């Protein structure tokens, strides 16, 4: 089988005998082919690949502009008006903002290409426009990716409130060798039944996430860098992407998986994130291969916080989806009583039970967790109005849950008893047990004479809905 270029098409066809001829996209044509079988010619669509040149510095909007590199168009918007499937929009270095109509809607099969060799350096698309999503209502978006479109070698920024760089919904684009920086919410949002290929990109300084993956989306996210952003990736609903060979570091949290998502993580390096490497919430079931590397994540490498199982919902949780509920989870060198507040918040370890501090840390964790669920429900579920306090019940030193510093410890608000050295230094007990007081994470434990208190308002503050999990609250 012999492949031919467009320039020699007519001459070659005239000279062909019985050999077969195939012409494909690799030869500068659209995906389509000619086959000559015997003396019979069977033809599908053949078109010379079209390139439209765009340069914001020296381009024009005159008729015929864009046909060659010496006479470029001025805007991507103008090029999209005349582009067809298979067209490449070749971007010169520059800033694409003034004169553009956002969001830029790529037609199916159109290729938007800048500087692939340097991941979009110098080819900067900045802007936002209102997009009415089929399932997510109005959104602020820079680029809409359509089926079989490609985004190659550009830098994308959307600084609008709740701004998204590239919106992918029920589409299978390729997004490669690009940079997503300073997007107010996320670099790329993926929804519906999308199956994108997202390869070798950089995601930096985005307010919410590098990438959000939702609904039934899958696809592959490979070889990318997620650096200094909110959550590197946030994956929800029943999404099941492959996340492989990525560098996910120096974010707040590397990967957050919520609802019933089922991503597969393989050969990623997830390191030096300021909270966790990975957090799994609710019914999420991430498949975490042993070849992932977790290291240097400040709080823990992984926090798996399932929804309470086998326990009737508390009265507060029944009436208020945002009420605090508690579970006992493996954590650090022992277990932690973890507080949760819905699927759009990051669970917070509130009491850490380490093997060196208490006997039977798991059973102690389970017991106190159940008491907390009961007491917090009785008190209305408002953690910001509650405190841990130490005091005496039946002459035993205890830790209890109160609504104010004036409220004393009683049998009906007691959480657990202190003994031995712990009973003689209750303030130190609270400092050790309460995770939010560690490393400047909240208000310090306060001593009141022989007793101590620890306000839970810092925990409540940390349980606010996360920008990076906006798609959970706005599920429509």
pLDDT band at 60 (very low <50, low <70, confident <90, very high): very high
For residue 31, the model assigns a pLDDT of: 38
| Helix (H) or strand (E) run with residue 374 in it | helix 361-378
For residue 132, the model assigns a pLDDT of: 97
- Whether residue 473 lies inside any domain: the answer is no
pLDDT in tens, 182-205: 999 999 999 999 999 999 999 999
Give the CATH number of the domain where residue 286 resides.
2.160.20.10
Per-residue pLDDT averaged across 149-165, rounded? 97
- Whether residue 64 lies inside any domain: the answer is yes
Percent pLDDT > 90 in the chain is 63
Burial label for 100, CB within 10 Å (0-12, 13-18, 19+), is buried
Is the torsion defined by CA of 260, 265, 268, 271 positive or negative? positive
Examine the domain organization and report whether 222 and 181 are in the same domain.
Answer: yes
pLDDT band at 355 (very low <50, low <70, confident <90, very high): low
Examine the domain organization and report whether 90 and 228 are in the same domain.
Answer: yes
List 95's β-bridge partners, or say none: 124
215: tokens are 């609904």
Measured CA angle at 366 (ends 361, 370), to 5 deg:
145
Residue 157 has pLDDT above 80, yes or no: yes
For residue 176, the model assigns a pLDDT of: 98
- Whether residue 469 lies inside any domain: the answer is no
Examine the domain organization and report whether 257 and 331 are in the same domain.
Answer: no
Kindly state the DSSP code that residue 359 receives in the 8-state scheme. S
Examine the domain organization and report whether 293 and 321 are in the same domain.
Answer: no
- Between 428 and 14, whose confidence is greater? 428
Examine the domain organization and report whether 109 and 250 are in the same domain.
Answer: yes
Which pTM does this prediction carry? 0.84
- Between 23 and 103, whose confidence is greater? 103
Burial label for 382, CB within 10 Å (0-12, 13-18, 19+), is middle
pLDDT in tens, 201-249: 999 999 999 999 999 999 999 999 999 999 999 999 999 999 999 999 9
Residue 322 has pLDDT above 60, yes or no: yes
pLDDT band at 357 (very low <50, low <70, confident <90, very high): low
Furthest CA-CA distance within the chain: 106
- Between 38 and 72, whose confidence is greater? 72
65: tokens are 């502009």
Examine the domain organization and report whether 295 and 325 are in the same domain.
Answer: no
Residue 352 has pLDDT above 90, yes or no: no
Containing structural domain, residue 218:
51-312
- Give the residue from 50, 77, 52, 48 showing the smallest Cα distance to 64: 52
Per-residue pLDDT averaged across 422-450, rounded? 66
Examine the domain organization and report whether 88 and 211 are in the same domain.
Answer: yes
Cβ pair 316, 373 in contact under 8 A: no
pLDDT in tens, 273-290: 999 999 999 899 999 999
Examine the domain organization and report whether 216 and 339 are in the same domain.
Answer: no
pLDDT band at 9 (very low <50, low <70, confident <90, very high): very low
- Between 30 and 286, whose confidence is greater? 286
- Give the residue from 161, 225, 214 showing the smallest Cα distance to 474: 214
**Total domains in the fold of the chain:** 3
Q: How far is Cα 120 from Cα 453, in angstroms, rounded to an integer?
A: 53
Examine the domain organization and report whether 88 and 157 are in the same domain.
Answer: yes
* CA atoms within 13 Å, Cβ hemisphere of 114: 26
Examine the domain organization and report whether 136 and 188 are in the same domain.
Answer: yes
pLDDT band at 429 (very low <50, low <70, confident <90, very high): confident
């Amino acid at each position: 089988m012999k492949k031919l270029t467009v320039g020699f098409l007519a001459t070659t066809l005239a000279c062909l005998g019985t050999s077969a001829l195939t012409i494909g996209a690799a030869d500068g044509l659209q995906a389509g082919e000619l086959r000559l079988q015997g003396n019979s010619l069977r033809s599908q669509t053949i078109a010379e690949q079209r390139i439209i040149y765009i340069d914001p510095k020296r381009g024009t909007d005159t008729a015929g502009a864009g046909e060659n590199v010496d006479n470029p168009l001025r805007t991507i918007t103008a090029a999209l008006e005349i582009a067809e499937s298979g067209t490449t929009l070749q971007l010169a270095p520059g800033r694409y903002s003034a004169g553009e109509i956002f969001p830029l809607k790529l037609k199916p099969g159109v290729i938007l290409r800048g500087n692939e060799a340097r991941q979009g350096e110098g080819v900067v698309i900045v802007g936002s426009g209102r997009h009415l999503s089929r399932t997510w209502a109005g959104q602020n978006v820079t680029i809409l990716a359509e089926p079989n479109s490609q985004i190659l070698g550009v830098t994308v920024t959307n600084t609008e409130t709740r701004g998204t760089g590239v919106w992918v919904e029920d589409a299978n684009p390729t997004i490669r060798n690009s940079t997503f920086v300073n997007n107010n919410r996320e670099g790329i949002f993926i929804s519906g039944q999308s199956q994108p290929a997202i390869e070798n990109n950089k995601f930096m300084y985005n307010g919410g996430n590098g990438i959000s993956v939702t609904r039934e989306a899958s696809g592959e996210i490979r070889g990318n860098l997620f650096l200094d952003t909110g959550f590197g990736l946030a994956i929800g609903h029943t999404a099941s992407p492959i996340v492989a060979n990525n560098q996910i570091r120096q974010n707040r949290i590397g990967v957050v998986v919520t609802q019933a998502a089922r991503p597969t993580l393989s050969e990623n390096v997830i390191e030096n994130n300021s909270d966790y490497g990975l957090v799994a919430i609710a019914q999420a079931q991430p498949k975490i291969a042993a070849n992932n590397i977790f290291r240097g994540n400040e709080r823990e490498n992984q926090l798996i916080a399932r929804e309470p199982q086998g326990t009737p919902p508390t009265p507060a949780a029944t009436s208020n989806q945002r009420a605090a509920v508690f579970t006992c989870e493996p954590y650090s060198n022992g277990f932690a009583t973890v507080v949760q507040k819905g699927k759009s918040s990051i669970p917070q370890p509130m009491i850490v039970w380490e093997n060196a501090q208490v006997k039977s840390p798991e059973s102690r964790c389970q017991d106190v967790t159940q008491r907390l669920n009961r007491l917090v429900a009785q008190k209305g579920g408002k953690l910001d109005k509650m405190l841990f306090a130490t005091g005496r019940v039946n002459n035993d030193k205890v830790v209890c849950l109160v609504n104010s510093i004036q409220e004393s410890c009683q049998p009906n608000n007691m959480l657990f008893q202190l003994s031995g050295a712990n009973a003689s230094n209750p303030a130190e007990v609270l400092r050790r047990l309460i995770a939010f007081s560690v490393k400047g994470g909240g208000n310090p434990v306060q001593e009141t004479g022989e007793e101590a208190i620890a306000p839970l308002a810092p925990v409540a503050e940390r349980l606010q809905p996360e920008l990076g999990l906006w798609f959970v609250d706005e599920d429509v």
